[in-house]
Amino acid sequence: MTMALMCGLSFAGKSTLASRLTEALPASLISLDLINEERGLHGGQGIPLEEWAQTNRIAHERGRELLEAGHHVVVDDTGSPRFIRDGWREVADQSGAPFVIVWVQIGPELQQARVQANRQSHGRSNVTDAVLRDHRAGFEPPIKEALRS
């Protein structure tokens, strides 16, 4: 059993890659966006921190249960900021599972093009400009973690 955490900005392709990894391993998928939907929340519109914390608690519990049942787990989330990655690392460690961060990088121009295309196609829920700005501003790349290991 292994836990893989997607890490990257919105519209980087994390969900697409997570889906492909889930099929290839095979693995169980934990999507924080889907958990938010189950809870009637829409992350692209902005969610209070306490609601994100509850979504993370639910996701961690599901991850722990899946790892303990012997499943590979792919976590579809932004993996930012660092304390989020540290929390998932702890879930994996407690279950004795290897932990890997899959950093999916995207430049601002491509991200904006994908956001605009999504707004026209309605392929997935919209993410407001304010949420995108806040996410970019608070994103902590995992590069220092990789260098430290």
Both tokens of 70, joined, read 């012997």
pLDDT tens across 79-104, in order? 888 999 999 999 999 999 999 999 99
pLDDT tens across 38-76, in order? 999 987 788 898 999 999 999 999 999 999 999 999 999
CATH class of 3-148: alpha beta
Asked whether 79 and 31 are in contact (CB, 8 A), the reply is: no
Spatial separation of the C-alpha atoms in residues 85 and 80, rounded to whole Å: 7
pLDDT tens across 108-124, in order? 999 999 999 999 998 88
Residue 44 is classified by DSSP as G
Alpha-carbon torsion, ordered 148, 55, 137, 5, to 10 deg:
40
Q: pTM for the whole thing?
A: 0.91
